[in-house]
Amino acid sequence: MFDFKLEKLSGHANSGKVGKIYKGADELINSGEDFFDIESNKGNITVCADFSGIIKSIEVKVGDTVKKGDTLAKIEGEQVKKERKQEGIQETKNSAGFNYLGNLMKPKKEEVDVDITIIGAGPGGYVAAIQAAKSGLKVALVEKEIIGGTCLNWGCIPTKAFVRSSVVFKDLKDSENFGLFAENVSVEINKVVNRKNAIVKQLVGGIEYLIEKNNILLYKGNGKILDNNTIFTKQGNKETTIHTKNIIIATGSESTLIPLKGVDSPNVLTSKDLLDIKSMPQKLVVVGGGVIGMEFAFVFRNFGVDVTVVEYVDNILATLDDDISSEITAIAKEKGIKVYTSSKVEEILDTEEKQSVLVFSKDDKKHYLTADKILLAVGRQPNIEGLDVKELGIKLNDRGRGIKVNEKMQTNIPNIYAIGDVTNIIQLAHVASHQGIVAVENILGKDVKMEYDVIPSAIFTDPEIAVVGMSEKDAKKQKLEIVVGKFPFAANGKALTLGEARGFVKIIKDKTSDKILGAAIIGPHSTDLIHELALAVKNELKDIDIIKTIHAHPTTSEAVHEAALASTSFGALHFAE
């Protein structure tokens, strides 16, 4: 047995975090296989095995901070590390001269022929695979981590499980407002994490069942594109060469790490790290006031954590209309979330008490925030590392961030398609899924184009925010003549019974045609209510089409009906300014 140690880090980094572990205990690993991903402020590296053997134990876990010389794993088996071979150590054989372990580790090779190979089994990849299989095509699906990708395992679903737990906790604390009394209410974060994990496990199991049910060939390992008709993948000692007519790249995205002094502090977390947190911080600083940052800010504030958000630009959720951004900012401050905008983070310092100090500048002055944990939520970048796109001749978009595709989701190589976050068009799971369907339809010979005009977006702050179609900001930029109809949830009966009266519904329509161009909702059930308005925008419905549709009472959907009325000269029935 020997220790496998970390021999190098990216650049001149002194330490890094374990981002991924590709193998587990008792698994076979061959020389050249990916073993660990180590993330540092100088960049990320993939540590490959320079030996072949059986993994006795993994000595680190994802999120651990490691430095050069640390033992990452213990390896059992033949001593075939390069330097050991050079020292003349012979391979172990039994008395009959049979090299047992050598034969065990001899790769098993296979070749398969398919119609489509999809690299990445996130919401884009697995949906594309199922769509293709249901259409009668033979499909191979390659995934190096866990089925479901970031969305299911470390994004959309896990964060919503956290959101739900935090809202239930908040409601218990505020139960006196409903004539109820709860004593000794507390949070056990391990159980919150366990509930999240159980939900994820159930959904991953469901997708795995669908993959098997649809006879999709699933390969767990890295997918290397050798040429536009050949993909190589390896899992353990099994090597598979896939001969394919078409390829769909669906490798997703990863958290962006900013080049910041002190970013390798053990207190600095990504959203992925925060979802597996072991203890509740007393103080949390969130760097980035976008969707990810604000969702976590509200979650942990509802849990009772002291939360501060530091945002570089002038507003949080800056892509939204000003009235939405202003409303959520006001609500955040009322809930006790401290918000610093127009602020530039300078560095992170660690204290002797194992806390960290975030240093940032605002109005030409330096400010200092002490925190137990710091969340970096500054966006995500396309995961194109290891795809060898330049060698294959696949073009990237104008900024070199993401694979360039046309409306059919084709790259510049006709039989290679790309979908989801790796294209860096719109980083939303439901967009990736629809792009996957469009790609498959075009592979089947249909002329289908991807449209981005009517894509609902959901933000799970407290209250929720949802938007679709054209914003008021964009309409004014295009100098369109519009009419805006608004209705506050404070005048909606169901919202009052829920105790959630903040926010409003806003409908934007064309002044001449009365067609609904877009909408935004901030308030209870926003992420569910938006789809009536998405349907209206998609089908070019007019305000009258919503007005003449009877909405059930008492429901929050009545606020949509009233906002449509507010966009007319008649005005809303249940509200007057």
Chain segment 377-423, per-residue pLDDT in tens: 988 899 988 888 889 999 999 887 899 999 999 999 999 999 999 99
Average pLDDT over residues 126-140: 98
The predicted pLDDT at position 100 comes to 47
Average pLDDT over residues 321-346: 97
Which run of H or of E encompasses 532?
Answer: helix 526-538
The predicted pLDDT at position 83 comes to 40
Average pLDDT over residues 358-375: 96
Q: Are 352 and 315 in contact (CB under 8 A)?
A: no
Torsion of CA 355, 358, 359, 360, to 10 degrees: -160
pLDDT at 77 over 80: no
> Nearest Cα to 37, choosing from 51, 17, 58?
17
Q: How far apart are CA 367 and CA 345, in angstroms?
A: 9
Work out the number of other CB atoms within 10 angstroms of the CB of residue 379: 15
Q: Are 505 and 521 in contact (CB under 8 A)?
A: yes
Average pLDDT over residues 537-563: 98
Q: Considering only 9-23, 412-426, 489-503, 538-552, which range has the smallest mean pLDDT?
A: 9-23
> Nearest Cα to 457, choosing from 541, 537, 527, 378?
527
pLDDT at 98 over 80: no
The predicted pLDDT at position 88 comes to 39
The predicted pLDDT at position 487 comes to 98
The predicted pLDDT at position 242 comes to 97
- In this prediction, residue 133 has a pLDDT band, given cuts at 50, 70 and 90, of very high
The pTM score is 0.82
Phi and psi at 200, nearest 5°, equal -60, -45
Please, which residues have CB within 8 angstroms of residue 518's CB and are 6 or more apart in sequence? 467, 468, 469, 470, 471, 472, 474, 475, 507, 508, 537
The predicted pLDDT at position 79 comes to 43
- In this prediction, residue 202 has a pLDDT band, given cuts at 50, 70 and 90, of very high
* Catalytic residue set: 553
Beta bridge partners of 220: 143
The predicted pLDDT at position 11 comes to 65
Helix (H, G, I), strand (E, B) or coil at 515: strand
pLDDT, tens digit, 9 for 90 and up, residues 431-457? 999 999 999 999 999 999 999 999 999
- In this prediction, residue 94 has a pLDDT band, given cuts at 50, 70 and 90, of very low
Please, which residues have CB within 8 angstroms of residue 420's CB and are 6 or more apart in sequence? 120, 122, 123, 124, 125, 250, 251, 252, 253, 431, 432, 435, 436
Which domains are present in the chain? Answer: 2-93 (2.40.50.100), 110-254+382-443 (3.50.50.60), 268-378 (3.50.50.60), 457-566 (3.30.390.30)
Q: Tell me the DSSP string of 29-83.
A: E-TT-EEEEEEETTEEEEEEPSS-EEEEEE---TT-EEETT-EEEEEES----HH
Torsion of CA 139, 144, 146, 149, to 10 degrees: -80
The mean of the pLDDT values for the chain is: 91
173-201 in b/e form (b: 16+ CB < 10 A) is eeeeeeeeeeeeeebebeebbeebeebbe
- In this prediction, residue 25 has a pLDDT band, given cuts at 50, 70 and 90, of confident
